[in-house]
Each structure stands twice: as structure tokens, then as C-alpha cells.
């Protein structure tokens, strides 16, 4: 699971409708797989993301220096763009867990073989 995907996931439990995003990540195993950096595509993607959620998540994973907001001249900031590429496309979480931040819910979704399992039980739908 890439962090790009994590940005699209919220707690699926039907009744959980507040404070259900972003999911808290616990990493057991992750790998970096290098892929081609495409500047214009990263720029496009950054504008579509929930950047606040990404920032929160990256910080929770130990990177204190990650910006809270998109830097003003980000389109020309190659260093920032390459960092975003590394974080969004090249970092794969192979094993771990996603936990709902809602204290009344805290449902955990496992990540196995790089695939997050968001399927609910009968009483959660």
C-alpha cells in the first residue's frame, strides 16, 4: 500500500461518521521501490491530495521536517517534488495496520502482502 492510496481511505464502518480520517498507520514492514520521477504528474497529484492528512501521517511515521502545508512555489521546488515522489509512489507498506482515529471506533484494518483489507463484518455494515 502506497501513501497515495492511504490518502483515499477512511474508516468504512457504517456508524463511524466522525473523526474517521486519516487512518493511523502502524508499519511492520515497508520497502522502497524506485520508480521514474515525472515532475508534471507529481505536481498534478499534489493538487488532488488531502495534503493535511498526508502531512499528519508522514509526521506520525517519524518525519518531523515534513511541511504542514504545500509550499507556495512548490511547482518549481524540485527537492520538495522529489520528496513527494519518494513518499507517495516509492514507499510501499507491505505489512502493517490501519486504525480508525475515532476513539469510539478504533477499528483496525490489516495490511497483508501490500494490500489493505477494508472489508467489514456483518455488524459493521
Partner 1 sequence: MIKKKQLDSCLSQIDDFEKPIWKLEQYMTPFDMASSMIQHIMMNEDISGQIVADLGCGTGMLSAAILCAGAHHVIGYEIDKQAADIAQKNLEEVHGSGFDIILTDIQYHKFKGQVDTIIMNPPFGTKNENIDTIFLKKSFGKTIIYDKNIVEEIFIHYIRLQLDNIYKDQENQIIELLRFQKHTSFHYQNDS
Q: Which of 107, 117, 113 lies closest to 93, judged by CA?
A: 113
Answer whether the bond into residue 80 is a cis peptide, omega within 30°.
no
Q: Is 14 in the site for partner 1 (CB under 8 A)?
A: yes
Q: What is the DSSP letter of 19?
A: S
Query: Rule CB under 8 A: is residue 96 a binding residue for partner 1?
Result: no
Residues facing residue 26 across a β-bridge? 97
Does the footprint of partner 1 cover residue 44 (CB under 8 A)? Answer: yes
Q: Is residue 27 a contact residue for partner 1 (CB under 8 A)?
A: no
Which residue of 29, 71, 104, 125 would you call a contact of partner 1, by CB under 8 A?
A: 125
Among the listed residues 28, 50, 60, 67, the single contact to partner 1 using CB under 8 A: 50
Work out the burial of residue 35: count CB atoms within 10 Å of its CB; fewer than 13 is exposed, 13-18 middle, 19 or more buried.
Answer: exposed
Q: Can residue 17 be called a binding residue for partner 1 (CB under 8 A)?
A: yes
Q: Which is nearer to partner 1, 7 or 74 (CB)?
A: 7
Of 96 and 116, the one with the shorter C-beta distance to partner 1 is: 116
Contact flag: residue 4 with partner 1 (CB under 8 A): yes
Q: Which residues contact 60 (CB under 8 A, 6 or more apart)?
A: 24, 25
DSSP state of 16: -
Residues that bind partner 1 (CB under 8 A): 1-2, 4-5, 7-12, 14, 17, 20-21, 33, 35, 38, 40-41, 44-45, 48-50, 89, 113-120, 125
Amino acid at each position: 500500500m502506497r501513501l497515495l492510496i492511504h490518502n483515499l481511505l477512511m474508516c468504512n464502518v457504517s456508524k463511524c461518521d466522525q473523526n474517521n480520517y486519516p487512518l493511523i498507520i502502524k508499519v511492520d514492514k515497508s520497502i522502497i521501490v524506485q520508480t521514474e520521477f515525472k515532475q508534471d504528474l507529481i505536481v498534478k497529484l499534489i493538487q488532488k491530495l488531502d495534503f493535511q492528512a498526508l502531512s499528519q501521517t508522514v509526521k506520525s511515521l517519524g518525519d518531523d521536517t515534513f511541511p504542514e502545508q504545500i509550499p507556495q512555489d512548490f511547482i518549481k521546488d524540485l527537492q520538495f517534488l522529489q520528496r513527494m515522489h519518494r513518499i507517495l509512489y516509492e514507499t510501499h507498506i507491505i505489512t502493517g495496520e490501519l486504525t480508525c482515529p475515532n476513539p469510539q471506533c478504533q477499528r483496525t484494518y490489516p495490511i497483508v502482502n501490500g494490500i489493505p483489507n477494508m472489508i467489514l463484518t456483518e455488524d459493521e455494515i
